[in-house]
Structure 1
Amino acid sequence: MKKTFLILFFTLAYTASNAQKDFQGMAVYESKTSMSDFKARFEGNKNITPDMQKMMEERMKKMFEKTFVLNFDKSASIYKEEEKLESPQSQGGMGIRMMGSFTGGGGTFYKNVKDKTYVVDKEFMGKEFLVKDSLATLNWKMEAETRVIGGYTCYKATAVKAASKTDFRNFRPRKEGEVKKEADQPSEGKKTNFMDAVEMPKEITIAAWYTPEIPVNQGPEGYWGLPGLILEINDGKTTILCSKVVLNPKDKAEIKPSTKGKVVSQKEYDETVIKKMEEFREMNQGRGGGMEIRINR
């Protein structure tokens, strides 16, 4: 009897261990960044026709409204934009493509919460990079608010973090009178490079909604560190909301980091992007390029 009990005990323990090991989930997220302040800032600009404005809004919508899929297990996850076929005509000019390369999309974001590391492959200006670094640890503050998302009871947590200088979603239009202008341009219809018309905040406040009903230390993008899957993130002007969760899907995903690209740290990658942005700004200064805007006074 004792022998039978021990066999049953070890069988159940082995089964539970394998169940934990094989556990996997999939979550779909819809990411949307509000560009209303930019639209309001340049509405009424005589140099932008209704057709031009409509085209700009359509392109910005494609840049700032995206769908992502998060595949996760107990210790690691991969977060990747859902692939969509686009015609060459819809891709826009160089400036649009350049901005689109750092608006949260592109590449596979792998994070291992056990090792507290992440790996993300990025393509920038025709070059492939493999960014490897340590996960940022946010000082989460647990709030009393609760809400239901997709049938799961979620709890709110907030944190403050430094704004990424290479994430276009964090840019803000400068206030009236603060936009840098070329001295050699006439006062009426002065030309201003796009990068001179925006600024980056030093820090942004994050609001997360997580559910302990899915007890994994995971979330979209680089977010983690809460006692449950993060189903929604309000990151400055960007909202990332989970629209679907599947636990233990029939088809398991391969959760491992990418290996393609030049290995760099996050700091090295940011420095490369910032340098190229400055070069691009100087190249387009005073020209009628795709990144230039005209501000009437």
Structure 2
Amino acid sequence: MKPIQITLISFLILAFAKAYTAQAQQEFKAKATYIAFTKFDLPEDSTMTKKAESDPIVKAMMEQLKKGSKQEYTLEFTRTESSYDKVKQLATPSKPTNGISISFSASGGVGSTIYKNIEENSYIKQGNIMGKDFVIIDKLPSYEWKLLSETKKIGQYTCFKAVYVPIEQEEVEEEVEDDNDDEVNTSITSMVVEADPTITAWYTPDIPVSNGPGEYHGLPGLIVEVQQQETTILLKEIVLNPDEKLDLKKPRSGKKINQEDFDALQKKKSEEMMKNRGSGNGSFRVISIGG
């Protein structure tokens, strides 16, 4: 790393520490609105294209993934706590085709109602599997961010770039039987062009709170923009110290479970659904794509 880059980052961290200490001496709260864009690039795969001609679920999946989604979220936060929740659905699921409708949410806990406690390094997140509610309680994921000197202006804020490359990438593969009893992989991951796993974030020390949308956190300033695989989340607007009281709600509806057990159960139920699908009306909801 170049000396000038080290100096800049050191100054940035020092400035954050001073601002954080000053802010801790007074009550601080804020309400931010984020827009999450998710869109997938699908490979020109003749096998999947052919499969889509005879399988309405695969066809509906491919059409909805190409279309993508756009959703609005609110992040209400103090120095140590936050609540992140969907405001409204800006893009509705595609109209049912042959009785099948498709919807999906993005990675990184973006599509979930989530309460974070930065001080306790914990989160409580709402989950749902086939209509059954769960309350996921676990430790916040650890992001070993690499701070870079690159900057850009996002709205009125000067933002710095940070990147994180996950050590392990989980891949969910679902195998189903076609009409000829041949096993064909029709998983979501098999339809999507493999994306760079690097998480890129832009944060501003002007708002010295180590928080951000979804599960993202751990930078010396509020995360204003973040991109992970097919999803980009961008700050739309923010109100510092609003007059109204914040609603830092904790998900409470459903069976309590940790993240690992929830992911395992979700995978199991998805596999069962894909194997048992045959006839009649139905819907397919991908609760999480990419982690």
TM-score by length of 2: 0.71
Alignment of 1:186-225 (within 5 A): 192=184, 194-195=186-187, 198=190, 204-225=197-218
**Which is higher, the Rg of structure 1 or of structure 2?**
1
Q: Tell which deviates more after alignment, 246-255 or 221-230.
A: 246-255
Could you say if the C-alpha distance between residues 135 and 196 of structure 1 is closer, same or farther in structure 2, counting changes exceeding 3 Å? Answer: closer
Listed one character per residue, the Cα deviations across residues 165-212 of structure 1 (whole Å, up to 9, x for unaligned) are 57xxxx9xxxxxxx97968749xxx99452287179798211110000
SS of 1:37 mapped into structure 2: coil
Distance (whole Å) between structure 2 residues aligned to residue 243 and residue 75 of structure 1: 22
Match of 2:8 in 1: none
Is structure 2 residue 34 aligned with structure 1 residue 32?
no
Could you say if the C-alpha distance between residues 287 and 54 of structure 1 is closer, same or farther in structure 2, counting changes exceeding 3 Å? Answer: closer
Match of 1:20 in 2: 26
Displacement of 1:253 in angstroms is 1.7
Is structure 2 residue 233 aligned with structure 1 residue 261?
no
Contact 2:198 2:228 in 1 (8 A): yes
Could you say if the C-alpha distance between residues 258 and 89 of structure 1 is closer, same or farther in structure 2, counting changes exceeding 3 Å? Answer: same
Match of 1:140 in 2: 145
Listed one character per residue, the Cα deviations across residues 116-154 of structure 1 (whole Å, up to 9, x for unaligned) are 000011222111100000001111101110001111000
Structure 2 unpaired stretches of 5+: 1-21, 285-291
Match of 1:12 in 2: none
Could you say if the C-alpha distance between residues 164 and 254 of structure 1 is closer, same or farther in structure 2, counting changes exceeding 3 Å? Answer: farther
Aligned length: 257
Displacement of 1:259 in angstroms is 1.8
Distance (whole Å) between structure 1 residues aligned to residue 134 and residue 253 of structure 2: 7
Distance (whole Å) between structure 1 residues aligned to residue 83 and residue 197 of structure 2: 24
Displacement of 1:240 in angstroms is 0.8
Contact 1:101 1:123 in 2 (8 A): no
Listed one character per residue, the Cα deviations across residues 251-273 of structure 1 (whole Å, up to 9, x for unaligned) are 22221312221110001101110
Alignment of 1:133-282 (within 5 A): 133-161=138-166, 162-163=168-169, 185=180, 192=184, 194-195=186-187, 198=190, 204-282=197-275
Structure 1 unpaired stretches of 5+: 1-15, 172-178, 292-297
Listed one character per residue, the Cα deviations across residues 201-254 of structure 1 (whole Å, up to 9, x for unaligned) are 798211110000000011011010001000010111211111111111222222
Q: Tell which deviates more after alignment, 143-152 or 85-94.
A: 85-94
Is structure 2 residue 102 aligned with structure 1 residue 96?
yes
Listed one character per residue, the Cα deviations across residues 93-121 of structure 1 (whole Å, up to 9, x for unaligned) are 66624x45989565421111000000011
| Identity across matched positions, percent | 34
Distance (whole Å) between structure 1 residues aligned to residue 102 and residue 183 of structure 2: 19
Could you say if the C-alpha distance between residues 82 and 183 of structure 1 is closer, same or farther in structure 2, counting changes exceeding 3 Å? Answer: closer
What RMSD, in angstroms, separates the aligned Cα atoms of the two structures? 4.3
Contact 2:94 2:101 in 1 (8 A): no
Could you say if the C-alpha distance between residues 62 and 218 of structure 1 is closer, same or farther in structure 2, counting changes exceeding 3 Å? Answer: farther
